[in-house]
Every structure is written in C-alpha cells, then in structure tokens.
Homo-oligomer: A and B are copies of this chain.
Amino acid sequence: MSNIKIAILGMGNVGTGVYQILQENNEEIYKYLNGDIEVEKILVRTIDKKRKISIPNELLTNNYDDILSDESIKIVVELMGGIHPALDYIKRAIKSGKHVVTANKAVMATYGKELKGLAKENGVFINYEASVGGGIPIINTLMESLAANKIEEIIGIINGTTNYILTQMTNYNMSFEEALKLAQTNGYAEADPTSDIEGEDAAFKISILTSIAYGINIPSKAIEREGITKIHKSDIDYASELGYKIKLLAVSKRCKDNIEIYVYPSLVPNEHPLASISNEFNALFVRGNAVGELLLYGKGAGSLPTGSAVLADILSVARLIKNNIGNDKNKNDKFNDIQIKGIGESQYYIRLQVVDKPGVLGKIAMTFGEYDISLESVMQKGRGEETVPLVFITHDIEKNILDKALDEINAYDFVEKIATILKVENI
C-alpha cells in the first residue's frame, strides 16, 4: 500500500484549502511520503452546492457512516469547527481505528485530554497543529523541536481578528467600532465577533499550548481573560507616547509552584519583536531553558496557511502509517497536577477621566500610595475640558490590591470613571 486514503469532514474555508494544496502541491507531497494522499470521501451538509473549487461528485457524501465503514480510509480530517457534531465524529473515527487530524480549537481545548486518551487506547493518533496559529508550526515546535526543553513561558498574539483591529486603531487612528467594522468587511471578523474580541478564541488556544508545554489540562473557561472592547483610541496614543504598542496577549508562564495563565490586552515595549506583529498575523514567543527565546510568526488563519498545517499533520501521520507505527498504548502521558492562577504581580496601565482642578492628581497619587502602589509614570493630558484623562503606569502590583485602590479612587467626586485598565508586559 503506497498511497494513504483520507476523508475530509467539512468543505468550508479550510477544507477547500486542504483540497487545493493536495492538488497543487502533489509533487512535494509525493516526495515526502513516497506515495500519494488520496481523498476518498468528503462529508458535506449539502451535496449539490456550488463550490469555489470543482470536486468530483462521487467523493461527496452527507452520511458519516459511509466514511466510518470504509476500511480503506486511514485518516479522518475534521474541518467542520464547533463542538457539535465535530466532537462526536472525532470520537467515532477514533473508535473505528482511524487516525484523526483536526483544526478544531474548541474541541481540543475542551476535550483534548479525553480525546488524546481515547486515541491512545485505540492505538491511533490525533494531530491538531492547525488548531493554534494557523500555518505557524507552534505545536510541532513545542512537541518535537523543543522536546528537550523545560518551557518557561509562552506569550502569543494568537487571535488575528483582534490584532487586525488593534493595528487599524494604531495605524489609522480608528475607533474600536470603526476598526471592527473594517475587519468584518475584509473578512477578518465574523458577523458575531464575540468569541474573538472577548478573548475566548485566544483562551482556547493558550489552553491547548499549555497542555502541550506543561502537561496540564486547563478548561478554557478557567482562564482569566479580558477582551479588547474597552480600549479607546486615546489609550493607543498614550501607550505609544510611553513607548508601547497595545496587543491582546495570551500568556502561559511556569512559576515556582504554579502556572500563570491569562488572556489580557497589554502594553508591549516597542523594541520587542511582538510589538511589530501587525494586522491579521499571529506570533508565538516561547522561552525554553535551553533554547532561550524563540519567536514564530506567520498567518494565523486563512484557507491555505491553515491548510498547510493540516497537511503537515496528515503527512506526519501518513508516514507513521506507512511504517506500521501506531500510537503507543503503553506510553505514560501523565498529566501534571500543577495549580494554575491568573495574572500574578504585574505592572498596569490605567486611564482615569477626572475633573481638571488643582489637587486631583495629588489625592489620587496619595491613594495609590496608601495601597503601596508605586508609579512608574504619570501623564496628564488636555486642559479646560469638563474631564481630562489621567494616565498612570504602576510598578508591579497584585491585581486585587490595584482593584481596591481603584474602587476608592472611583468614589472621589472628581473622578468621572476608571476608563481603561491594561496590563504592561515588560518582556
């Protein structure tokens, strides 16, 4: 058996990319595998639908059992997205002794541990490179290239939608709403952008990377997160004056006794490579105790980049199949029992709107002082308007202490509101 037969579930954006790559790059694929990848069946909802690419009709089915019962199919490639019915389809594929390749972050973040266990029991592999960072080979890098490292830190810009929005706000002085609308027009944000802009998507992805890097299983719901909806374009300007760019960061750090994990809009120093990651691009910054700093940057979404990662998974499993290697049931993939916590001590950027009168800054600074919060910089902007912005960058402080101080400050009658709280990530 020289060729490997696969089935694809879903012919949307990524499915189309995978199919296209299989056609266009078949020479490269053959060279890697010394054989071909043959698409034997494609599961779609509607068979008679006009598609972007032409697919022979006999490949299409809307009955998953056609795929499960076909013993020639060795790999099921799940590209439907969402939990249902993808989760069920993946489980049934595994139980039928088929290897699985998936791009499904929601499934892997939520049921990854269970599925990996099930796959091992059944002697098959489940690969999911495309679930994080699109075409960026972050999972393979963590699992293979950094296998001999203790991972100390992962800091990612892993949501293209929010990075696109923040870039537009930064470069073209747009408001959040304007930038979101542009992102939707250009296909970088969905009609319902909630999961992206509220940081849920990034939480899924950092949960997956954390499970690989530290061997712990963290439901994405347990991850402290904050989206980008409260960021005002003035915050971007103030950050810029202070030498920072604002990025939505997904962070997972190994501390002494626990793992610090969160998704939070943060100020990144201009000199750091993460600050220069623009638009829909993604980047992963990894620190390992041997390799030191490593950064991977590329397209975090899109039909062909994501398809490239799916194909890498398919090829890697296909080569194992050709070598008669199954997943090792006896291998001890024990998950670690490390506690997680949210944000630890950190610097913060705070923008208040206050009435412009003498003594206000003094009163606020004193209140910070009472909570032992020392300040790295203070910036007062505007004059004579009803309220003016007052921007602080604190030194390291626990968030709950900061919150108490801010509650007290918020109660002053000259404080209109605590407008923005951002993290400062001094990497």
Contact = CB atoms under 8 A, between A and B. Distances in A.
Interface string A130-144: 000001110011001
A144 B316 contact: yes
Interface in A38-68: none
A377 interface: no
A34 interface: yes
A308 interface: yes
A137 B277 CA distance: 20
Contacts of A426: none
**Which residue of A25, A28, A293, A331 has the most chain B CB atoms within 10 A of its CB atom?**
A28
A123 interface: no
Contacts of A25: 148-150, 289-290
A126 interface: no
Given A135-B294, A294-B135, A331 B148 contact: no
Contact of A149 (B28, B276, B325): B28
A147 B291 contact: no
A295 interface: yes
Contacts of A140: 140-141, 144-145
Interface in A315-346: 315-316, 323, 325, 328, 330-332
B28 A308 contact: no
A305 interface: yes
Interface string A142-159: 001111111000000000
B296 A295 contact: yes
Contacts of A323: 323, 325
Interface residues on A, range: 35 or more
A144 B312 contact: yes
A217 B314 CA distance: 28
A288 interface: yes
Interface in A258-299: 271, 273, 276-277, 288-299
Contacts of A316: 144
A291 B297 contact: no
Contacts of A331: 34
A148 B293 contact: no
Contacts of A147: 28-29, 32, 311-312, 315
A129 interface: yes
Given A296-B296, A332-B34, A290 B21 contact: yes
**Which residue of A32, A290, A297 has the most chain B CB atoms within 10 A of its CB atom?**
A290
A25 B291 CA distance: 12
A302 interface: yes
Given A29-B148, A148-B28, A323-B323, A290 B273 contact: no
B273 A34 contact: no
Which 3 interchain pairs have the tightest Cβ spacing? A137-B145, A148-B311, A290-B308
19 contacts: A22-B148, A32-B147, A129-B145, A135-B294, A137-B146, A140-B141, A141-B145, A144-B144, A144-B316, A145-B308, A145-B312, A146-B308, A146-B312, A147-B312, A147-B315, A149-B308, A290-B305, A292-B298, A295-B295
Interface of A: 17, 21-22, 24-25, 28-29, 31-32, 34, 129, 135-137, 140-141, 144-150, 215, 271, 273, 276-277, 288-299, 302, 304-305, 307-309, 311-312, 314-316, 323, 325, 328, 330-332
